[in-house]
Structure 1
Amino acid sequence: MDKSFDPKSIEQAQYERWEAANIFAPPETGEASYCILLPPPNVTGTLHMGHAFQHTLMDTLIRYRRMHGDRTLWQGGTDHAGIATQMVVERQLAAQEKTRHDLGREEFVRAVWDWKNESGGTITRQMRRLGDSVDWSRERFTMDDGLSEAVLEVFVRLFDEGLIYRGKRLVNWDPVLHTALSDLEVLSEEENGHLWHFRYPLADGSGHLTVATTRPETMLGDTAVAVHPGDERYRDLIGKTIRLPLVGREIPIIADDYVESEFGSGCVKITPGHDFNDYAMGQRHDLPVINILTIDACLNDSVPEAYRGLDRYEARKRVVADLDHLGLLEKTEDHKLMVPRGDRSGTVVEPYLTDQWYVKAGPLAEPAIKAVEDGRIRFVPENWSKTYFEWMRNIEDWCISRQIWWGHRIPAWYDGDGNVYVGRSEDEVREKHGLGAEVALEQDEDVLDTWFSSALWPFSTLGWPEQTQELKDFYPTSVLVTGFDIIFFWVARMIMMGEHFMGDVPFREVYVTGLIRDSEGQKMSKSKGNVIDPIDLIDGISADDLVAKRTQGLMQPQMAKKIEKTTRKAFPDGFPAFGTDALRFTLAALATTGRDIKFDLGRIEGYRNFCNKLWNASRFVLMNVEGQDCSPAADTAEHRTLADRWILDRLAATAATATQQLDAYRFDLAAQTLYEFTWHDYCDWYLELTKPVLNDEATPEAVKRATRHTLVSVLEALLRLLHPVIPFITEAIWTSVKPHAGIGDDIEFLVQRPWPAQDGFPRDATATAELDWVKDFITGLRRIRAEMDIAPGKPLPVLVKNWSEADQQRYARHRGLLEFLAKPESVTWLDATDEAPESAMALVDEMQLLIPLAGLIDKDAELARLDKEIGKLDKNLEQSEQRLSNASFVDRAPAEVVQKERDRVAEMQATREQLAAQRERIRAM
């Protein structure tokens, strides 16, 4: 092994070894089948922290179950990402001053395939960097032949069953991309706007009603004004009519419980053609639905001639000006509102009335609800089932069509009379409906929503509609790891489709993760300049390169300056190369069940140190066993030292605890358990306890051999325990350890070794109790040294009070260890009546360890040092307490920042109390 741990020198080469050996493919036989579906990332995408988090957890589970001997499949692949991918290629064409229409549909789709084949593999290459043990031989793509056949089959069957239909309804419309969007593709953020108050005259001339709106141009499509039925101000007006300004159309005054009497004037304009809530109200009251917009969000011929052809924002200005001229503009107020924007184009999305294809969701939702109610699917944490039920029990029909060219083209054809025919091909349609060659048919131009094909992912990736062996072996899959934000869009739809087409649930458990946030608890976003690329953490990046990366492509100079300032302040030195294992261990350690995660660079730095500690400890072991006999023998057990017996007991307990925690998806607790055993039990204690055994020439060879065997066997088991979380470093170390651990050449890789909980390591509660006493004795003396600033090598006279006969016997049995590690100058056992001088004290159970301070420290120098430390603390405490007493800071700063400051104050106060107590003890000398 190299002297120092260098992730770059081992990670990529190690992954290539794994992949070349095809060890991620499920074996032909096994204890049980275990399968995880990779949520397919967009083919246009790159790895972000959310991916890194979820992939770490999935890979941990996969490697863990693989080591249990299961037939384990991590089914991977990518999503064709209709809108995102089409935009990439259209931008390339725009650079050549071309559009997709210049190429035509067939040539454009071919160009997209060319791009996918040449440039669409970035994220899968990055997944390999993360250590994902996906079975790449089974990699799927939502537009490959097999999945395309599954999509076609599902669409036709659902249509024939009356569960797919075409209808005119309101959708999220992107006026730049000219397509409907799903709710997940619409990002709503608060922006500054205005609230305009207009007077709508009563038709009988008896007065007016005042309505308020944030979108004045839509008033040209109003078909009613609504008030709350219990609002006394307007009760007598219900049923009367308004004469719509600028248009002249008479529209009714209606009553509906949806209206909030307290908001604005209590009167609401109703535009069913351009607002989802208004559309629902229009359905309840049988109101006309008027579309006033074109696909470009310009005003169409349904509005007065003066406004036709105007862009929606130009029309807004004109409408406001005209109403003001007529004396109907009552007032204008500044107003913050949620503005919906397309996540790809960035343009403001409009509710738009258009013909689309829909899935009837109600009949599909009923069995999907029951599957969770009866426990065939379990959510972890369980509270997410409530979110699932709430949405499923109020489900609306699913718009599945998109007005783009890249995707699964809808298998529907139209004749000249507008009749629609659905089939697997045009030939099937003609044969099924008796349509001769003289009947011209045109296929629907739309493609299916990307979520439609991904809803089939659990069974289409395993070969459906063919009844493959993979379907028999791995469906239903074992667990789905996903974020809460796509429970509706993906999880629920997979359950509906799985129940309908497979007659069974697609997975047994759904582990729902939280979001990765920055160290202050803020959501990561490019506009905030707090996004972290996991590859940057793995490989390292300079501050200059990090700034250049974050500001690349930003059109607004002010935004670029803001992000540069934020970046240089937060990361003045960029990121060092932490390596994949440190990142993975950090993410696992932070994975508290279902909660959002605050990612702190301090944590990953700590776990990089953990990897270094493991590497150095392994080098120590190898140096002590190289060329030595460390094989197990019949007499090994009887020659084990107390430390050997103790570490084996701790290993057995650790393996059992980690197993329970991983089975319960408590990755954080498992990581903590493994960290504590590795750092403290094995490295800090056991390795130190072996030194007097191995270095003392008087130690019998049989005892040395037993210790060497324990050193190697425990290290090898520890590497297995850690491997699911940190696969690279453990594989690299294990390769060097293997020859000394008696492992045959038939086992080439660490992941082929069994999970250690199955090894039957001997338990020994007596040894653990005995060694805990030894550790407490050593730790007590070390703590006194640290508190009193006494040099580690300086021998200390130890006085012992309140001891028992068992304490004396233990000291006698382990005197060699205690003298080697604690370095007492002498040990004096005092009787109960003996007076002890002023001393520092440590407890070992009830026994007192006393260190006389006279002559050990310079009293005046130590008091001066403590006074200086306390003074520094007092100054920092005063500053922090002033911040917390500032109401402006407490009220305006993020809650996480305020809490962090409070925690800091509490920590400083505790430290000050300790230093003050220490000062009083020394002063009393």
Structure 2
Amino acid sequence: MTSAAPDNTRNRADALPKSWNPGEVEADLYERWVAAGYFAADPQSSAPGYSIVLPPPNVTGTLHMGHALDHTLMDTLARRKRMQGYEVLWLPGMDHAGIATQSVVEKQLAADGKTKEDLGRDLFVQKVWDWKRESGGAIQGQMRALGDGVDWSRDRFTMDEGLSRAVQTMFKRLYDAGLIYRAERLVNWSPELRTAISDIEVKHDEVAGELVSLRYGSLDDAEPHVIVATTRVETMLGDTAVAVHPDDPRYKDLIGTTLEHPITGRQIPIVADSYVDPEFGSGAVKITPAHDPNDFDMGLRHNLPMPTIMDERGRIADTGTEFDGMDRFEARVKVRERLASEGRVVAEKRPYLHSVGHSERSGEPIEPRLSMQWWVKVETLAEAAGDAVRNGNTVIHPASQEPRWFDWVDDMHDWCISRQLWWGHRIPIWYGPEGESVCVGPDEDAPEGWVQDPDVLDTWFSSGLWPFSTMGWPDATPELAKFYPTSVLVTGYDILFFWVARMMMFGTFVADDAAVAAGKDGQYQVPFEDVFLHGLIRDQYGKKMSKSRGNGIDPLDWIRDYGADALRFTLARGAQPGGDLSVGEPHALASRSFVTKLFNATKFALMNGARSGDLPARDTLTDTDRWIIDRLDEVLLEVDAAFDAYEFGKACEALYHFAWDELCDWYLELSKVQFTESEARAESTRVVLGTVLDSVLRLLHPVIPFVTETLWQALTGGESVVIAQWPRPAGVPADTGSAQRIADLQRLVTEIRRFRSDQGLGDKQKVAARVLGLDTAGLSHLHPEVANLGRLTEPGANFAATASVEVRLSTTTVTVEVDTSGSVDLVAERRRLEKDLAAARKELAGTEAKLGNDAFLAKAPEQVVDKIRSRRDVAAAEVDRIGARLSELSDK
């Protein structure tokens, strides 16, 4: 008979809901954490500092699966370090997202038939601020739903006054150091947005176009001429040369001569350049330096004119032809038609697939365009960013990403930092009446009557300062002293080059200044000590999530359907350094089942009086108790090593299998026997079970905070697991003898259960059995556990074995003799097995058909094919097993 549980633990069990319904508790739990100040960081604390800055999401954004992964991993790190005794700062904030935010407000104006020009700059910027206050930042509510333990009192925005001051300071220091300059260069231009855009805002898509071959020079084959091919016929209006390879014998006599431009009448030279591939097409290419990156480079090499033939809206302009005023796409057709009418279109190839850059925001094809812009000279900055990784000041995880880092920073081009927008940090350059200019710092005034540069800075400029501007730089602040450099940056490898590189360049540039401000005597030269790069999220079939495929997942849907803990565990369990992860509904269901299992196990433990406390003397514990305690220590060491190496998936796997397979499936079942023994044994079991469960809940808390908080408070009566101490190993040598005996018991019980399944016995159906050899195996004291878990009863006087099972254990073989007579309905069992055999054969045939389909194998992701192979193998084994069982029954 089970020993009664103490009343206080029964009361705590009764305080738990009947079942776990996350939607009923998560929001209230989170707000209690915030109100209690658990996430607030104290820079005056004597505890060691640990800090993470949240990669600032766009103020226009909402939480997508990539954000959910980022936030889950950062929160896991922050919660664990807080429990380990660190003073943790996880600093939140948002990016002003210049282009995206301005576009939102412009669309609102357009709906009222207005433009930003109708309002003027000052009123428009004020309207954007109004929108930000009223509608921006929806992601903050979603962060709360996910459980982000950020310090909301330190929430930052890249256009805040303090951060704006940091931006202005950085600009001036770079400018004064000769690292910012103004020049006319080729940029990615968005005619719809009428601004330059960054490389990360350009998405390349394969599109069907037409490759048109044009004849330059004489229409008489006996006279000088060349044939060039282009997909952008309209840009020929800006051609200033034709290039051929210097060693191409076909054009040797033409190099250095000129040809008349077919439309403008200009004489354009034929130049020799090794960039030209003589094997491609005719071996001759047209050069439009102001509208093509490669042509621009050749234009520089050959000192060619660079006329811009399109205005900011993408309309043909200043060519002196009938095409002026036409949209670029209309001009493409009209120019081709004119050339065709003159016999200069030699051939057209349709469709012609080629890669075209598109604006991520507006969706239109971007236009390479020569434009006067502000630039950062990156050579020395990029070198310092590369050296920071080379010398180990910043460590990239995984190390396999280091070559990509060096490829990028060692070959970085100057960075265009100006944008032709109204929303953003205004470039602090002022122009005088005679064309003179001055850079104005944050504590300086511009000369009276001077005019400020109309452009604003690229959003990446301000986000590049994020790790230290958010802590008060350029002032010396307690936050910088305590929390800078930050401990780790968590982000996807896909923005390694754009954002991470810029933070590293700026952080190393102001290293001495920031270190002095932090009171660290210039010892630190980097904005973060570790960079953890995770992969991209894909669907359950390994496909990249996208709107066009319709396979995206809204994390809020999963939070509503499965709970935030299930979402978080799914993402953390799949996260490994640098590796992509596939997620789908089956993963979320499995995570929800795990959370439910944990809830039910804790409730069972409480109903049986489990409590956390000092463990009884080790020599008074059973093999079962010593085994689970030792396994907990082993798992703790494994989990700590995995988290320290940012191997989130490995840590979660270890915790999942320990909690489910060992604690719930084995120890809880074994403890039921110990509860029926003496009161002393029952009490000892309650403490062991409660203490192990206490540690498991604390170990799981960083990943699944809501259910662990609810269960830990019920189990321990403590204030909050958020501020509980992270578990530590007991430091006692493991009892290998106990471990071996429990392993033998598990093998024995598993074989008994397999036999029962093969015999068609119900899970709860008990059968008489005699177990021989337990004494020799050293398991005689565990006979009650074997009988309980194997659903065996003591043999009666008339016991006659109808079958036996031999199980080889570590030192000997144990035989289990079983009497199943009267326990199995042979007719019903044959019917059940025949049904199962038919299903197994159908599964086998289906999987073999797929694996025999070459077209399927060529298209399906490798992990999908592997899954089908596994299904095929399981089905084949089932066919053999069920067939053998039917043969046995036919003899009875």
Are 2:637 and 2:729, in contact at CA under 8 Å, matched by a contact in 1? no
Specify whether residues 916 and 664 from structure 1 end up closer, same or farther in structure 2 by C-alpha distance, changes over 3 A only: farther
C-alpha displacement at 1:838, in angstroms?
Answer: 6.3
In 2, distance between residues paired with 1:633 and 1:282?
A: 79
- Match of 1:537? 558
Within the candidate set 459, 462, 467, 2:468 is matched to: 459
Are 1:164 and 1:357, in contact at CA under 8 Å, matched by a contact in 2? yes
C-alpha displacement at 1:287, in angstroms?
Answer: 2.0
Are 1:241 and 1:251, in contact at CA under 8 Å, matched by a contact in 2? yes
Percent of aligned pairs sharing the same letter: 47
Are 1:514 and 1:595, in contact at CA under 8 Å, matched by a contact in 2? yes
Query: Does residue 388 of structure 2 align to residue 422 of structure 1?
Result: no
Cα deviation digits, residues 601-656 of structure 1 (max 9, x gap): 10110110111111111111121228xxx575796545433322222112111111
- Match of 2:516? none
Are 1:881 and 1:905, in contact at CA under 8 Å, matched by a contact in 2? yes
Cα deviation digits, residues 230-277 of structure 1 (max 9, x gap): 444434433333322222222222333322333322222111110111
Q: Secondary structure at 1:336's aligned position in 2?
A: strand
In 1, distance between residues paired with 2:288 and 2:866?
A: 46
In 2, distance between residues paired with 1:849 and 1:43?
A: 69
What's the TM-score, normalizing by structure 2?
0.91
Specify whether residues 879 and 110 from structure 1 end up closer, same or farther in structure 2 by C-alpha distance, changes over 3 A only: same
Within the candidate set 495, 519, 524, 1:486 is matched to: 495
Query: Does residue 19 of structure 2 align to residue 10 of structure 1?
Result: no
Specify whether residues 896 and 233 from structure 1 end up closer, same or farther in structure 2 by C-alpha distance, changes over 3 A only: farther
- Match of 1:228? 245
In 1, distance between residues paired with 2:887 and 2:301?
A: 79
- Match of 1:557? none
Specify whether residues 31 and 425 from structure 1 end up closer, same or farther in structure 2 by C-alpha distance, changes over 3 A only: closer
Are 1:652 and 1:762, in contact at CA under 8 Å, matched by a contact in 2? no
C-alpha displacement at 1:207, in angstroms?
Answer: 4.3
In 1, distance between residues paired with 2:615 and 2:408?
A: 64
Are 2:806 and 2:813, in contact at CA under 8 Å, matched by a contact in 1? no
Task: Please tell me the residue identity of whatever aligns with 2:555.
Answer: P
- Match of 1:25? 40
Are 1:186 and 1:343, in contact at CA under 8 Å, matched by a contact in 2? yes
In 2, distance between residues paired with 1:143 and 1:310?
A: 38
C-alpha displacement at 1:40, in angstroms?
Answer: 0.5
**Where does 1:50-65 land on structure 2 (aligned, <5 Å)?**
50-65=66-81
Specify whether residues 208 and 30 from structure 1 end up closer, same or farther in structure 2 by C-alpha distance, changes over 3 A only: same
- Match of 1:885? 852
Specify whether residues 199 and 901 from structure 1 end up closer, same or farther in structure 2 by C-alpha distance, changes over 3 A only: farther
Query: Does residue 477 of structure 2 align to residue 511 of structure 1?
Result: no
In 2, distance between residues paired with 1:757 and 1:60?
A: 18
Are 1:636 and 1:706, in contact at CA under 8 Å, matched by a contact in 2? no
- Match of 1:128? 144
Are 2:95 and 2:157, in contact at CA under 8 Å, matched by a contact in 1? yes
Within the candidate set 384, 388, 408, 1:367 is matched to: 384
Are 2:628 and 2:663, in contact at CA under 8 Å, matched by a contact in 1? yes
C-alpha displacement at 1:903, in angstroms?
Answer: 4.4
Specify whether residues 11 and 311 from structure 1 end up closer, same or farther in structure 2 by C-alpha distance, changes over 3 A only: same
C-alpha displacement at 1:597, in angstroms?
Answer: 1.2
In 1, distance between residues paired with 2:849 and 2:247?
A: 51
Are 1:800 and 1:848, in contact at CA under 8 Å, matched by a contact in 2? yes
Query: Does residue 805 of structure 2 align to residue 847 of structure 1?
Result: no
- Match of 1:705? 683
- Match of 1:815? 783
C-alpha displacement at 1:400, in angstroms?
Answer: 0.4
Q: Secondary structure at 1:263's aligned position in 2?
A: coil
Task: Please tell me the residue identity of whatever aligns with 1:806.
Answer: T
Query: Does residue 671 of structure 2 align to residue 690 of structure 1?
Result: yes
**149-158 or 87-96: bigger deviation:** 87-96
- Match of 1:806? 776
C-alpha displacement at 1:787, in angstroms?
Answer: 2.6
CA-atom RMSD in angstroms? 2.5
Q: Secondary structure at 2:565's aligned position in 1?
A: helix
Specify whether residues 529 and 794 from structure 1 end up closer, same or farther in structure 2 by C-alpha distance, changes over 3 A only: closer
Within the candidate set 593, 603, 627, 1:609 is matched to: 593
**203-212 or 160-169: bigger deviation:** 203-212
In 2, distance between residues paired with 1:476 and 1:276?
A: 38
Q: Secondary structure at 1:757's aligned position in 2?
A: coil
Query: Does residue 754 of structure 2 align to residue 783 of structure 1?
Result: yes
In 1, distance between residues paired with 2:615 and 2:631?
A: 22
Task: Please tell me the residue identity of whatever aligns with 1:823.
Answer: R
Task: Please tell me the residue identity of whatever aligns with 2:809.
Answer: V
C-alpha displacement at 1:920, in angstroms?
Answer: 5.7
Specify whether residues 249 and 775 from structure 1 end up closer, same or farther in structure 2 by C-alpha distance, changes over 3 A only: same
Are 1:781 and 1:822, in contact at CA under 8 Å, matched by a contact in 2? yes
C-alpha displacement at 1:407, in angstroms?
Answer: 0.6
C-alpha displacement at 1:760, in angstroms?
Answer: 5.0
Gaps of 5+ in 2: 1-15, 513-524
In 1, distance between residues paired with 2:371 and 2:71?
A: 39
Query: Does residue 179 of structure 2 align to residue 163 of structure 1?
Result: yes
What's the TM-score, normalizing by structure 1?
0.88
**Where does 1:850-889 land on structure 2 (aligned, <5 Å)?**
850=816, 855=821, 857=824, 862=829, 865-889=832-856
**Where does 1:133-144 land on structure 2 (aligned, <5 Å)?**
133-144=149-160
Query: Does residue 622 of structure 2 align to residue 641 of structure 1?
Result: yes
In 2, distance between residues paired with 1:247 and 1:591?
A: 59
- Match of 1:722? 700
Cα deviation digits, residues 818-868 of structure 1 (max 9, x gap): 22221334589xxxxxx9986555443452545568746566765564454
Q: Secondary structure at 2:370's aligned position in 1?
A: strand
- Match of 1:560? none
- Match of 2:163? 147
Specify whether residues 896 and 311 from structure 1 end up closer, same or farther in structure 2 by C-alpha distance, changes over 3 A only: farther
Q: Secondary structure at 1:625's aligned position in 2?
A: coil
- Match of 2:451? 442
In 1, distance between residues paired with 2:307 and 2:628?
A: 77
Higher RCO, 1 vs 2 (CA within 8 Å, ≥6 residues apart): 2
Task: Please tell me the residue identity of whatever aligns with 1:579.
Answer: G
Q: Secondary structure at 1:356's aligned position in 2?
A: strand
Within the candidate set 694, 707, 712, 1:734 is matched to: 712
In 2, distance between residues paired with 1:210 and 1:900?
A: 54
Cα deviation digits, residues 530-584 of structure 1 (max 9, x gap): 2211001111xxxxxxxxxxxxxxxxxxxxxxxxxxxxxxxxxxxxx10000000
C-alpha displacement at 1:487, in angstroms?
Answer: 1.2
**155-164 or 704-713: bigger deviation:** 704-713
Are 1:377 and 1:509, in contact at CA under 8 Å, matched by a contact in 2? yes
Q: Secondary structure at 2:490's aligned position in 1?
A: strand
In 1, distance between residues paired with 2:348 and 2:568?
A: 53
Are 1:203 and 1:243, in contact at CA under 8 Å, matched by a contact in 2? no
Within the candidate set 345, 353, 360, 2:370 is matched to: 353
Cα deviation digits, residues 457-512 of structure 1 (max 9, x gap): 11111110101111111111111101112111111111111111123111111110
Task: Please tell me the residue identity of whatever aligns with 2:257.
Answer: K
